[in-house]
């Protein structure tokens, strides 16, 4: 546990010292604000709950992009700068590296998500939504962000280039995104099985409506566990190369 804390502190300090974290946060909040203004608060008459659902749908996209941008540097940057050798020679296990880096990026991403809370709060100016709906939606955003962050961590562990790491993460996410339209053209029960792996429609859309279901939480936790496990195994195979 002590080594994990040290890795987290090291990574968080890196986010504070470099402008990349600030740029990602600023860009994400700016895009969220623009989307909220142009889509959620459009001239068409909408219920307050529909406004919130539109915002959460858009925010899931910006959260995914921010997660990929934060994750693609985790190990790929270490290889580019040559500091990966220091990590491999330090008394830190691969699992501690992966978990520490993932938690640090998740802390940054969660703070970024919570910083946009002022946007759904604007709905109370002319409408009314339940705090439970907002809380459920933001819990879903953090889960989506954590899952895509874990997939980005996997991409970064497989690559020596941040660009390639980002592309790999995007491919992983796109494959899960394709599960929903693919399931629509495949007969059950295979179609139902494919639909279960859909990253957004199957498991995030209930959060958009304020519904927190155990099956959706288990799905996202499973994605996180599998992606981080493969990342650990990848680093273990690379340590002795």
Of 241 and 121, the one with more pLDDT? 121
CA distance 142 to 221: 11
pTM score above 0.95:
no
10 Å CB burial of residue 31 (0-12, 13-18, 19+) is middle
Total count of residues recorded for the chain: 241
Six token digits for residue 166 = 């980002």
Of 161 and 124, the one with more pLDDT? 161
User: What's the confidence (pLDDT) of residue 22?
Assistant: 85
103-156 per-position pLDDT tens digit: 999 999 999 999 988 888 887 777 788 888 899 999 999 999 999 999 999 998
The percentage of the chain sitting over the pLDDT mark of 90, rounded to a whole number, equals: 32
176-200 per-position pLDDT tens digit: 989 888 888 887 888 888 888 888 8
- Peptide bond preceding 189: is omega within 30 degrees of 0, i.e. cis? yes
Long-range contacts formed by 11-15: CB under 8 A, 24+ apart: 11/74, 11/100, 11/101, 11/104, 11/105, 12/104, 12/107, 12/108, 15/104, 15/108
229-240 per-position pLDDT tens digit: 999 898 888 766
Q: Which sequence spans correspond to the domains of the chain?
A: 2-239
76-104 per-position pLDDT tens digit: 887 777 777 767 777 778 888 889 999 99
Six token digits for residue 175 = 């494959």
Q: Could you please report the per-residue DSSP string of the chain?
A: -HHHHHHHHHHHHHHHHSSHHHHHHHHHHHHHHHHIIIIIT-SS---HHHHHHHHHHHHHHHHHHHHHHHHTTTTHHHHHHTTHHHHHHSS--HHHHHHHHHHHHHHHHHHHHHGGGHHHHTHHHH----HHHHHHHHHHHHHHHHHHHHHHHHHHHH-SSHHHHHHHHHHHHHHHHHHHHHHHTS-TTHHHHHHHT-SSTTTTHHHHTT---HHHHHHHHHHHHHHHHHHHHHHHHHHT-
- pLDDT confidence tier of residue 223, bands split at 50, 70 and 90: very high
Mean pLDDT of all residues belonging to the chain: 85
- pLDDT confidence tier of residue 43, bands split at 50, 70 and 90: low
User: What's the confidence (pLDDT) of residue 220?
Assistant: 95
Residue 241 has pLDDT above 60, yes or no: no
């Amino acid at each position: 546990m002590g080594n994990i804390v040290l890795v987290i502190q090291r990574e968080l300090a890196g986010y504070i010292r470099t402008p990349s974290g600030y740029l990602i946060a600023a860009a994400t909040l700016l895009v969220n604000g623009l989307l909220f203004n142009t889509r959620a608060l459009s001239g068409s008459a909408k219920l307050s709950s529909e406004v919130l659902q539109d915002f959460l749908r858009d925010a899931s996209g910006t959260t995914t992009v921010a997660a990929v941008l934060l994750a693609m540097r985790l190990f790929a940057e270490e290889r580019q700068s040559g500091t990966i050798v220091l990590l491999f020679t330090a008394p830190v296990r691969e699992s501690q590296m992966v978990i520490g880096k993932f938690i640090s990026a998740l802390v940054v991403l969660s703070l970024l998500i919570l910083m946009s809370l002022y946007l759904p709060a604007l709905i109370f100016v002319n409408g009314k939504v339940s705090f439970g709906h907002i809380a459920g939606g933001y819990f879903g955003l953090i889960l989506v962000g954590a899952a895509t962050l874990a997939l980005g961590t996997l991409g970064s562990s497989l690559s020596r280039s941040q660009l390639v790491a980002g592309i790999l993460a995007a491919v992983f996410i796109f494959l899960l995104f394709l599960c929903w339209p693919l399931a629509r053209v495949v007969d059950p029960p295979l179609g139902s099985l494919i639909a279960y792996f859909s990253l957004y429609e199957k498991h995030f859309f209930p959060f958009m409506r304020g519904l927190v279901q155990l099956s959706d939480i288990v799905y996202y936790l499973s994605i996180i566990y599998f992606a981080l496990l493969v990342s650990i195994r990848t680093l273990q195979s690379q340590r002795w190369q």
